[in-house]
Amino acid sequence: MVGLYWPLANEVDLRPLRTQLRNPMALPQADGNGCLHYKRWTGQDLEKDGCGIPAPTNGSNLGAEEISLLLVPALAVDSSGIRLGYGGGYYDRLRSDPLWANVPAWVVLPSNCVHPSALPRDSWDVPLNGWITEKGPGQVLRPSAS
Which candidate, 71, 88, 54, places its Cα nearest to that of 131? 71
Residues 3/26, Cβ–Cβ less than 8 Å: yes
| Average pLDDT of the segment spanning 101-120 | 94
At residue 143, the pLDDT reads 56
At residue 89, the pLDDT reads 87
Q: How far is CA 5 from the centre of its chain?
A: 7
At residue 43, the pLDDT reads 77
Domains of the chain: 2-139 (3.40.50.10420)
> How far apart (Å, rounded) are the C-alpha atoms in residues 93 and 111?
26
Residues 109/131, Cβ–Cβ less than 8 Å: yes
